[in-house]
Copies of this chain bind each other. A is one copy, B any other.
Amino acid sequence: MDRYCFGVDLGGTTVKMGLFKPDGELVDKWEIPTVKDDGGSKILPDIANSILAKMDEKNIEKEAVIGVGIGVPGPVDPDGFCNKAANLGWVDKIDLEGDMHELTGLHVKGGNDANVAALGEAWKGGAEGYSDVVVVTLGTGVGGGIIVQGKVLAGSTGAGGEIGHIHIVDNEPEACGCGNHGCLEQYGSATGIVRLANRRLAEDNAPSVLRDGDISAKSVFDAVKAGDVVAIEIAERFGEYLGKGLANVACVTNPQIFVIGGGVSKAGDVLIPYIQKNYVKYVFHASRDAKFALAKLGNDAGIYGSAKLVLE
Q: Give me the interface of A with B, judged by CB distance under 8 Å.
A: 75, 78, 131-132, 144, 146, 148-149, 153-167, 178-180, 244, 247-249, 251-256, 282, 284-287
Contact = CB atoms under 8 A, between A and B. Distances in A.
Given A132-B155, A167-B247, A178 B284 contact: yes
Contacts of A247: 167
A161 to B, nearest CB: 7
Contact of A165 (B78, B159, B284): B284
A160 B282 contact: no
B167 A253 contact: no
Nearest to A133: B156
Q: 3 tightest CB-CB pairs across the interface, nearest first?
A: A155-B254, A159-B286, A165-B284
Given A167-B247, A251-B162, A284-B165, A156 B131 contact: yes
Contact of A160 (B157, B180, B248, B254): B254
Contacts of A148: 148, 153
A269 B164 CA distance: 32
B156 A251 contact: no
Contact of A254 (B159, B244, B253, B285): B159
A287 B157 contact: yes
A284 B180 contact: yes
A160 to B, nearest CB: 5
Contacts of A161: 252, 254
A167 B252 CA distance: 12
A252 B164 CA distance: 10
A180 B254 CA distance: 17
Contacts of A149: 78
18 contacts: A75-B286, A132-B155, A144-B252, A146-B253, A153-B253, A155-B254, A157-B286, A157-B287, A159-B254, A159-B287, A160-B252, A160-B254, A161-B252, A162-B251, A163-B252, A165-B284, A180-B282, A252-B253
Given A132-B156, A162-B251, 18 more contacts: A75-B286, A146-B253, A148-B148, A153-B153, A153-B253, A155-B254, A155-B287, A156-B256, A159-B287, A160-B254, A162-B254, A165-B251, A167-B248, A178-B284, A178-B285, A179-B285, A180-B282, A249-B252
